[in-house]
Chain A
Amino acid sequence: MAVKLEYAVQESVTNIRRNLFMSFAAVLVVAISLFLFGGVFLLRTAISRSLDIFTAGVRVTVFLDGDISPETRDELDAELKAMPEVASVLFEDKQQAYERFKELYADQPRLIENTRPDALPESFRIELVNPEQFAVIRDRFQGRVGVDDIRDERQVVNDIFAATRALRTAALAMAVIVGIAATVLIATMIRMAIYARRKEIGILKLVGATNWFIRVPFMMEGVVQGVVGSAVAALMLLAARPSLSKFSTPFEFFNVNVTYLDVASQTVWLVLAGVVVGGVGSIVGLRKFLDV
């Protein structure tokens, strides 16, 4: 039998209105849970993006011996370009190095005066596909003929990765814990709401209602509560956005910035989560009571 939509809509609206307190409690539980969950994920997204921006410019530099032969140089160039880990290889000759040197030390004119382009080494400036993989380059080229030194800004990058990895792992762990807590809370909430109305379910079954006839209004109710709850959570995130952006990292130069766009895209997921949690929660919560 097709469940009449009109009945189901009317029924869920009436139930929400008459069980306003329960509905309010359910919405609150959904809102707080999704707010915590969403906040943790927002932070994680922002941290990841900051990290991407920061590491995008990081290059591994292979400095070459002054007396390297052009053939060796070309061999190294070809070998680097053939590596899958390498995104791009840029050869920098003495003159280019000098230009960069001038730029870098623009505030120390005497140092520039006293340095001639000839004193600067040639180098390969390498961009990696995955900035974490610079060890691959070092292990392969350290001590090779014609290679003077490999500078990878490892220390700085390593520190950032270590710190943010811990941060991201912590954030994910928190999100998972909060998520589980939210699900259990919502399931309990729905179960309580349904328990309060088990008599009604029993009567509906006695007058010959099919299980779906009983389920649909409960589901719609759960979905409405989920959606309202997630909307509230989104508003709370919007309000918390400035505080999230102030989240401090051990690095002064490393800023976490939660944008409005982040909140907006997060909201889409929150609403989806609200719909799923509300709908599935109702079905699961109802299962026991439909066995009459």
Chain B
Amino acid sequence: MIRTVNVTKVYKGNVVALRDASIDIQKGEFVFLVGPSGSGKSTMMSLLLREIAPTSGEIYVAGKNINTLSSWKIPMLRRNVGCVFQDFKLLPNKTVFENVAIALEVIGRPKNVIAEQVPEVLDLVGLGGKGKHFPDELSGGEQQRVSIARAFVNRPPIVIADEPTGNLDPATSVDIMKLLDLINRSGTTILMATHDHAIVDAMRRRVIELDKGVIVRDQARGVYGYGAEV
């Protein structure tokens, strides 16, 4: 589903964000990308969305080489990859319903389909009946649920989440993880960047660890701490 081959990303001023990173994630996997700040997690996420291009190496997402993607096809790539961010990235002047509906409007779904699918996914994330609220009327955890609903409403094969629990308290984080786990169980591949030890240790899923742009560990059913294999 997601495959990178010897990907290197060098920013201006010879800052090496990723070096020779090769990962291979199968359909339906739930993978944590861990590592300290500046280890290259966000760079990896940006590369997968083709917000930036790699300096060298190849990236395949949903079976397509996204390096050679012409710019007008980038929107099609992004429709296959739902994304969730630490800061939610909701539109403050749109209601919860509208925020989620955007993802469907963008792919040209008719109004009646939107009217049906948005409440459905809001129910799924536990926000049934909150469609008319504006984001700032919701708690952080609820806002993150909206953003997950938006990422998932068009049923993409892949969801990537960049520190989705970074702004949330531990209890709320657990709820968010349960939600992501639920989505994963429906067959969606999930790649989640995080440095939340408790979550990684509790979930016991595949862990890929980055350190200074290099993959130092790729372990099935891992925990956060380096070398703490079971």
Contacts and interface: CB of A to CB of B under 8 A. Distances in A.
B91 interface: yes
A208 B111 contact: no
Contacts, number: 48
B49 to A, nearest CB: 7
Nearest to B81: A208
Chain A CB within 10 A, most for which of B51, B77, B89, B102: B102
Contact of A207 (B72, B93, B103): B103
Contact of A204 (B49, B93, B102): B102
A7 B105 contact: yes
Given A4-B105, A7-B105, A18-B93, A210 B75 contact: yes
A209 interface: yes
Contacts of B90: 203
Contacts of A2: 108
Contacts of A199: 89, 91
Contact of B108 (A4, A202, A203, A205): A4
Given A208-B75, A208-B78, A210-B75, A1 B93 contact: no
Nearest to B76: A208
Interface in A205-237: 205-211, 213
Contacts of A209: 75, 102, 106
Given A6-B111, A18-B93, A206 B105 contact: no
A25 B49 CA distance: 37
A292 interface: yes
B138 interface: no
Nearest to A209: B106
Interface in B106-142: 106-108, 111
A159 interface: no
B74 to A, nearest CB: 8
A211 B106 CA distance: 10
Contacts of A200: 91
Contacts of A202: 89
B108 A208 contact: no
Nearest to B77: A208
B150 interface: yes
B41 interface: no
Given A1-B108, A6-B111, A213-B106, A207 B78 contact: yes
B108 A206 contact: no
B89 A204 contact: no
Given A200-B91, A292-B51, A207 B150 contact: yes
Given A1-B108, A7-B105, A292-B51, A208 B79 contact: yes
A2 B107 CA distance: 10
B7 interface: no
Interface residues of A, number: 20
A203 B89 contact: yes
Contacts of A210: 72, 75, 106
Given A2-B108, A6-B111, A207 B51 contact: no
A203 B51 contact: no
A212 to B, nearest CB: 10
Interface in A9-53: 18
B66 interface: no
Contacts of B75: 205, 208-210, 213
A206 B83 contact: yes
Contacts of A207: 78-79, 102-103, 106, 150
Chain A CB within 10 A, most for which of B51, B72, B75, B93: B75
B108 A204 contact: no
Nearest to B80: A208
Interface string B210-222: 0000000000000
A206 B49 contact: yes
Contacts of B83: 206
A199 B93 CA distance: 11
A232 to B, nearest CB: 26
Interface in A164-220: 199-200, 202-211, 213
B79 A206 contact: no
A7 B76 CA distance: 19
20 contacts: A1-B107, A1-B108, A2-B108, A4-B105, A199-B91, A200-B91, A202-B89, A203-B89, A203-B90, A203-B102, A204-B102, A204-B106, A205-B75, A206-B49, A206-B83, A207-B102, A208-B106, A208-B107, A209-B106, A210-B106
Complex A-B, nearest 5 residue pairs according to Cβ-Cβ distance, in ascending order: A208-B79, A208-B78, A209-B106, A208-B75, A207-B103
Interface of B: 49, 51, 72, 75-79, 83, 89-91, 93, 102-103, 105-108, 111, 150
